[in-house]
Amino acid sequence: MDSLILEISTRGLHRYEPIDDEVTTLGRALDNDIILSDPTVAPHHLKIIRHQDGRLELINLAVVNPTRVGTRPIDTRELTRLPVDIEVGRVQLQLLARDNPVAETRPLAGNGRRGHLFGHPYWAILLALTCICVDALDFYLNSYNSFKWSDLLKYLLRETVLTIGAFVLALSILERLLVNRWEMKQMLTSVSLVYLMFAGASVIVVGLDYLLSASWPSTLFHFGWYLAIIPAAIAIYLIHISHIKRERSIVLALLIASPIAVPSILQSPELQALLDNFSSSASYHNRLSHLNWHLRDSVSIDRFIEQAKELEPGEIAD
């Protein structure tokens, strides 16, 4: 008779019990072979019988929350193939043959070429310091008064350290809840990379706005960042660092990103304009650039006035 294994999943955690005896009982009572301490499980809930001729039989013993195979409640059920999913109360079981194939081994995040970046704490520290340098530069380029170190330090503490720290902490707690592990250095590396990506992309998008004399690049970036790039970054992290399955990672990434994305998008002037369909302000293109790179030709005053005659009033809102 082939050897069997019972996988017991409770709140995302798995434990494995060998099923070697002819009769194995499951339930909450302490005289069972396998004790399931869950209030939705009956004191004597399920009996697994391995017949001499190789047949495998399940017998339900519970009145409340009877055992289910697949999605259907059973009284008795003879099993013809493995693996099979069983529900006992809210505890998920899977009966497997011992030779059931297992998934391929995932490399540790610190191994391999890609893992190099995520594996070493030096990278995490270097990237976090780069974020601080980028924000210091941003502070300098946006300050128009005499430089004060105390202002810079306050800005960095508020804008960089607290922001990155809050994200790393919140996401690490989530990771701990999801996969029961802390991956602080990988988390710091990932958050810093996304932070730097945002800073770099913002500069490019502002340049594009001016180049095209349009505001759609920054609008597109604003929505794309929250709706696509942040969830994608979280999904990549969950797949490659936390080793969670792809489909589950995508769903989790969307759930994790939504508390950041939803308020940012709901409060954005772009969405307000779309929803309201009306604004009493004139949203003209006020970007200015010292490079002055633009695709529009310069026109004379005469040509400008000629073209301005064609300007129609805006839409009347409903």
Partner 1 sequence: MRVLNRETGKKSSIGSGFIVGDGSRLATNYHVISQVILEPEVFYISFIGSDGQEGELKLLGLDVAHDLALLGAEHSLGEAIEMSPLPPRGAPIFAMGNPLDLGLSISVGTNGGILNQTDDSRILFSGSLNPGMSGGPTFNASGEAIGINVATARNDISFIVPSRFLSALIEKSSSDGYGAETDLKAEVARQVLAYESRYIEQLLESDWPNLDLRQFKLPGVISPTVRCWDNSAKLSAVALYKRYQIRCTNQNHVYLDEANSSVGRLLYEYYWLESEDLNAIQFYNLYESLNKDQVDAKLDRDMVSNFNCETWFVEVSSQQMKSNLCRREYVEYQGMSDVLFTAALTGHEDRGFFITLILTGVDYHATLPLIRKFLENTEWTP
Shortest spacing between CB 188 and partner 1, in angstroms: 29
> Under the criterion CB under 8 A, does residue 30 sit at the interface with partner 1?
no
> Under the criterion CB under 8 A, does residue 247 sit at the interface with partner 1?
no
> Under the criterion CB under 8 A, does residue 150 sit at the interface with partner 1?
no
> Under the criterion CB under 8 A, does residue 104 sit at the interface with partner 1?
no
Q: CB nearer to partner 1: give 103 or 144.
A: 144
Tokens at 318, concatenated: 């409903």
Shortest spacing between CB 285 and partner 1, in angstroms: 5
> If you compute the radius of gyration of the chain from its CA atoms, what whole number of angstroms results?
30
> Under the criterion CB under 8 A, does residue 149 sit at the interface with partner 1?
no
Output DSSP code: residue 229. Answer: I
Residue type, 41: V
> Under the criterion CB under 8 A, does residue 275 sit at the interface with partner 1?
no
> Under the criterion CB under 8 A, does residue 9 sit at the interface with partner 1?
no
Q: Which helix (H) or strand (E) is 221 found in, with range?
A: helix 216-224
With CB under 8 A as the contact rule, which of the stretches 49-57, 110-118, 173-181, 273-281 interacts with partner 1? 273-281
Shortest spacing between CB 215 and partner 1, in angstroms: 10
Task: Tell me the C-alpha distance between 124 and 137, whole Å.
Answer: 20
Task: Tell me the C-alpha distance between 74 and 176, whole Å.
Answer: 37
**Crossing angle of the two packed helices 112-119 and 184-212, in degrees rounded to 10:** 100
| CA torsion through residues 31, 32, 34, 39, sign | negative
> Under the criterion CB under 8 A, does residue 311 sit at the interface with partner 1?
yes
Shortest spacing between CB 101 and partner 1, in angstroms: 59
Burial of 114 (0-12, 13-18, 19+ CB in 10 A): exposed
> Under the criterion CB under 8 A, does residue 81 sit at the interface with partner 1?
no
**For 179, phi and psi rounded to 5 degrees?**
-125, 10
Tokens at 213, concatenated: 């004399």
Task: Tell me the C-alpha distance between 203 and 156, whole Å.
Answer: 19
With CB under 8 A as the contact rule, which of the stretches 5-13, 84-92, 144-152, 157-165 interacts with partner 1? 144-152
> Under the criterion CB under 8 A, does residue 141 sit at the interface with partner 1?
yes
Q: CB nearer to partner 1: give 170 or 212.
A: 212
Q: CB nearer to partner 1: give 101 or 149.
A: 149
**Among residues 80, 142, 150, 267, which is the contact residue for partner 1, using CB under 8 A?**
142
Beta bridge partners of 227: none
> Under the criterion CB under 8 A, does residue 305 sit at the interface with partner 1?
yes
Residue 285 CA to chain centroid, in angstroms?
35
Residues touching partner 1: how many (CB under 8 A)? 44
With CB under 8 A as the contact rule, which of the stretches 77-85, 161-169, 250-258, 288-296 interacts with partner 1? 288-296
Task: Tell me the C-alpha distance between 87 and 67, whole Å.
Answer: 6
Q: CB nearer to partner 1: give 180 or 280.
A: 280
Count of beta carbons in the 10 Å neighbourhood of residue 138: 17
Tokens at 84, concatenated: 């099979």
Cβ neighbors of 316 (< 8 A, separation 6 or more) are none
> Under the criterion CB under 8 A, does residue 280 sit at the interface with partner 1?
yes
Q: CB nearer to partner 1: give 149 or 284.
A: 284
Binding site for partner 1 (CB under 8 A): 140-146, 213, 277-290, 292, 294, 296-302, 304-305, 307-309, 311-318
